[in-house]
A and B are shown apart, each in its own frame.
Chain A
Amino acid sequence: MTDLATERGLAVELSDLTRVYGAVRALDGLTLHLEPGELVCLLGPSGCGKTTALRILAGLDQPTSGTVSVGGRDLTRVPANKRDMGMVFQAYSLFPHMTVIDNVAFGLKLRGRDGASRRKRAGDMLDLVGLGQHADRYAHQLSGGQQQRVALARALAVEPSVLLLDEPLSALDAKVRVQLRDEIRRVQLEVGTTTLFVTHDQEEALAVADRVGVMNAGRLEQLAPPAELYSAPATKFVGEFVGLSNRLPATVTAGVASVLGQEVPALDGSATGSGSALVRPEAISVVADPSGGATVTTVQFLGPLSRVTCQLADGTDVVAQLASTDAVRLTPGDAVRLEVAPSPVLVVAD
């Protein structure tokens, strides 16, 4: 994190938030702390409560119970327009009757800034997102990616205490999505605003976040830096939701899991006794061995990497991810032996 960040960002605290809609508990005791200047992604399947959490932080929804505070100030009952937050929406949200620069300057106008300083600040924000030359266009003259950039500039123009991103990229096509995602991160680091980013796209979350919170059924399953989330999932849900995992039969004794006849460390939180080990495809290597007990079924070429699916004697499919230079030696039907890298695995009860 930059120095700018610690100066400008504020800490955000969501405490024990619950939101009940009729019979549905959209949030079920969510507690989340954001460090000043940090970018936290909330990741989860649709309906897991991530958007509800963000909307409650924005003041666009009210929690059934629990509190929201920013920079130590309790905002739970403060209306959305008094919360001083910037928000980018999933749907295109530029005001159609205003030019781009008027859109960006709208929040400043409401704050009573004079015309000249408003235009200056709005122009600076547009430059920051690389759209300075489009200031006098209307939303319908911009592409989807450009509209979302303007929305980002508009949200940041008011120097919000918190930046909220509600799946801002999901309406865009794949290439623009990656570009804009990197741009959001660059801009966020530059301005140092504490940011909550909600997405269902794990690649997006892992790529931009300082920490990723995985949510399921209204609760936070794990909150950790991307690498840790990937290598050391705390729960079965996280292990299965984030990245690809093979479920392989395993037995755990004294913190050591026996998987495919090999011994690897078991992560904290693993089940004891027999269960399923969640093993990443890249942790499995495939060795040609006529008596290996596994058969290659498909080889899928993905560029630098290839995905090789093998079948064990008992019918279990195992996916391995290899460098394509190694995978070319394998063809479907080959007898192979599977080896598991000695990185820790999570073993879950069946």
Chain B
Amino acid sequence: MRQSTGFKVGRAVGLLAFAVYFFLPLLAMFDFSTQARGSAEGRTWDNWAFMVTDEDLRSSIIASLLLALFTVVLMVVLLVPTMVWVRLRVPRARKLIEFLCLLPLTIPALVIVVGIANVYSWVTYLLGDSPLVLTFAYVVLVLPYSYRAIDAALAAIDVTTLAEAARSLGAGWFTVIVRIVLPNITSGVLGAAFISVALVMGEYVFASLLIFDTLPVAMAALNKSNSPAAMAAALASMVFVSLLLVGLTFLSRDRHKQGASS
């Protein structure tokens, strides 16, 4: 179908407008974060280097990255076997599990934090006060999104038959989940993982109210004393998460090609 010139021009203008709307603030952030201080002329990378040189900021970045990693691992370890088990053995419980997993979505983060503050005083008492103990709260926080992603992937394959076939060939439950189910739901698990990373990298309410120094908390604090450096960190974290999401899109597209037809 031929498109009229008017349509093409309109589309180009529209895209341009959106691009300006989205990228201008990012460019402004970049500009602000690379301006030399005071009255000096020219550009500087000092604010970007600050992420590495500043002890507190650096440790908060590491804490957030580790938190993201642990959250993903714990989420996968908890959710995948549970969901497979429920599908295979207790299908009646599926609605209940779904309800429980979606529950955190309906409760404001603030309410949850107030609720678990007392629990966390025990957690920190038992496990120390490293920000990594936030993993437990974050797993709950990412449950709704992860559940959806993994559930869709499980629905796309015949888990029951695949599991029974593997069982009849001599596979135990661990083998069934790790070697048969997991490789066939990788796109769903990846999706769940990336969304979890994005959520954890940006989570402020839990960390701040439970007084842990994660990247968002450190950024907020830094913004008061050294806003160009805070801006650099914010932009870096945004780019990191965007790259992850773009990567996810490409990964799942490849998988679709590979598993096409049938």
Contact = CB atoms under 8 A, between A and B. Distances in A.
Interface string B149-177: 00000000110011011111111100100
Contact of B170 (A81, A96, A97, A164): A81
Given A81-B171, A110-B170, A139-B262, A96 B165 contact: no
B69 interface: no
B59 interface: no
Interface string A82-103: 1111110101111111000000
Interface residues of A, number: 32
Nearest to B169: A107
Of the candidates B169, B170, B180, the one having the most CB atoms from chain A within 10 angstroms of its own CB is B169
Given A95-B180, A97-B183, A107-B170, A89 B261 contact: no
A139 B259 CA distance: 10
B153 to A, nearest CB: 12
Nearest to B175: A110
A25 B215 CA distance: 61
Contacts of A141: 261
B158 A93 contact: yes
B161 A110 contact: no
Given A96-B184, A154-B169, A140 B158 contact: no
B110 to A, nearest CB: 43
A287 B163 CA distance: 60
A100 to B, nearest CB: 14
B175 A58 contact: no
A226 to B, nearest CB: 28
Contacts of B168: 58-60, 80-81, 83, 85-87, 155, 164
Interface string A137-167: 0011100000000010011001000001000
A15 B162 CA distance: 29
B171 A87 contact: no
A139 B184 CA distance: 13
A197 interface: no
Of the candidates B157, B161, B170, B262, the one having the most CB atoms from chain A within 10 angstroms of its own CB is B170
Contact of A140 (B165, B175, B260): B260
Contacts of B169: 81, 86, 106-107, 110, 154-155, 158
B172 A93 contact: no
B188 to A, nearest CB: 13
Contacts of A164: 168
Contacts of A107: 169-170
Contact of A95 (B164, B170, B184): B184
Interface of B: 157-158, 161-162, 164-172, 175, 180, 183-184, 259-262
Interface of A: 58-60, 79-87, 89, 91-97, 106-107, 110-111, 139-141, 151, 154-155, 158, 164
- In the complex, the 8 A-B pairs of residues with the closest C-beta atoms, listed nearest first: A140-B262, A107-B169, A93-B165, A87-B168, A97-B183, A80-B167, A110-B170, A91-B161
7 contacts: A80-B164, A93-B161, A95-B184, A106-B166, A110-B169, A140-B260, A154-B165
